Amino acid sequence: MTIRGALVLTAILCVLASYRVIRGPTEPDRVIGLDAIATNVVAIAVLVALLTDRGLFITVSLVLAIIGFIATVAVAKFLTEGEVIE
């Protein structure tokens, strides 16, 4: 019951962080919002693993964390130099 409530609250937090993605004044604001959403999605995957007693979703959360880190670094490089791969 507590885990289900935590799932609902973390999903609400993802929606609230999307406000900063939509109405950020600058581009790095939007990147920060997307990074926060990615970390919340990692937490959601761990909560699903706790809710369903299935250890597969912890591996899923690791993969999501790796993808979020690569996306953050790529977008930061794009903002700095205007291109990701030279």
Partner 1 sequence: MIRTTLVIGLVVVGTFFLTVGTIGLLRLPNVYNRMHATSKPTTLGTASMFLAGFVHFGPGAEGLTALVGILFLFLTIPTGSHMIARAAERIGIPFVEGVTWPDPDALERPPEGTRDERAPDSGDSRRYETGANRSGEPGDAED
Q: Does 67 bind partner 1 (CB under 8 A)?
A: no
- Report d(CA 80, CA 63) in Å as an integer: 26
Residue 57 and residue 65 in contact, taking contact as beta carbons nearer than 8 Å: no
Q: Does 73 bind partner 1 (CB under 8 A)?
A: yes
Quote the tokens at residue 86: 């030279």
CA atoms within 13 A on the CB side of 85: 0
Question: Is 9 a residue that touches partner 1 (CB under 8 A)?
Answer: yes
Q: Residues in the site for partner 1, rule: CB under 8 A?
A: 2-3, 6, 9-10, 13, 16-17, 19-20, 26-29, 31-33, 35-36, 39-40, 42-43, 46-47, 49-50, 55, 58-59, 61-62, 65-66, 68-69, 72-73, 76-77, 79-83
